[in-house]
Amino acid sequence: MRAAAFYDLEGTLVRTNLVHTLGFYARNQPGLWRSFKKSAATLLSIPLFAITDQYSRQVFNTLFFKRYRGETEDRLRFFADELFEKVLKPAVYPGAFELIAKSRQLGLRQVVVTGALDISVAPLMKYLGIDDYVANHLEFVNGVATGRLLPPVLASATKASWIREYAEREGINLNDSYAYSDSISDLPMLSVVGHPAAVNPDFRLRQTALHHHWPILDLR
């Protein structure tokens, strides 16, 4: 039976987070005034995002992705390559390449499970040589984002559910599989595999990793 390596993306393989992506799109609005307004709103929302993320990833997602309301799909796709070149590519941790290369040598399937937007991460997945990835999808009506995510929204427990279903579908042995994340919100995802590891962990995940004797990696 095959095995896989499941990665969270932001904070784990790259140093950026969802706010960097939102900030990039905010800076690239049609018109200077609109760019300024959106950028200022994003900046002012950061404390709120931080607090809600500590409270609940689901609540955070609801609040955060509302900021995409009114964005057109073609515009998001148009800027995806620039986002990759200017924001995501320079943000890949040096150790991420080695980690993925070593996992690949073991014959592990490389899978990214991320709460970021599918549109924004596609070029990065190709760049990192990821076999499969799953990301969140914005809801569009007539090509315009509603600010809601299409279910299932990938966060916390739903990432673990997705991994279980994926493993069943692809014939992956989870006991022999690896998972990497930086955040305590991914505890369910880390718990479903035989070889979990905390990568550049936040305080709570570090404590959990120490408690469970999980390896703690620093890819920075």
Amino acid residing at 169: R
> Of all helices (H) and strands (E), which one includes residue 46?
helix 32-55
Q: Tokens 């959990």 appear where?
A: 208
Out of 99, 111, 193, 205, the residue judged to bind another protein by CB under 8 A: 99
Q: Give 104 or 137: the residue with its C-beta nearer to another protein.
A: 104
Is residue 193 part of the contact set for another protein (CB under 8 A)? no
- Give the contact letters, 46-65, x = binds to another protein (CB under 8 A), - = no: --------------------
**Measured from the CB of residue 10, what is the shortest distance to another protein in angstroms?**
19
Is residue 95 part of the contact set for another protein (CB under 8 A)? yes
Is residue 2 part of the contact set for another protein (CB under 8 A)? no
Q: Burial letters for 40-61: b for 16+ Cβ neighbours within 10 Å, e otherwise?
A: eebeebeeebeebbeeebeebb
User: What sign does the CA torsion over 15, 79, 110, 165 have?
Assistant: positive
**Helix, strand, coil: what percent of the chain each, to 5?**
55, 20, 25
Out of 48, 50, 106, 150, the residue judged to bind another protein by CB under 8 A: 106
**Measured from the CB of residue 214, what is the shortest distance to another protein in angstroms?**
8
Binding residues vs another protein (CB under 8 A): 5, 95, 98-99, 102-103, 105-106, 108, 178, 180, 195, 197, 209-210, 213, 215-219
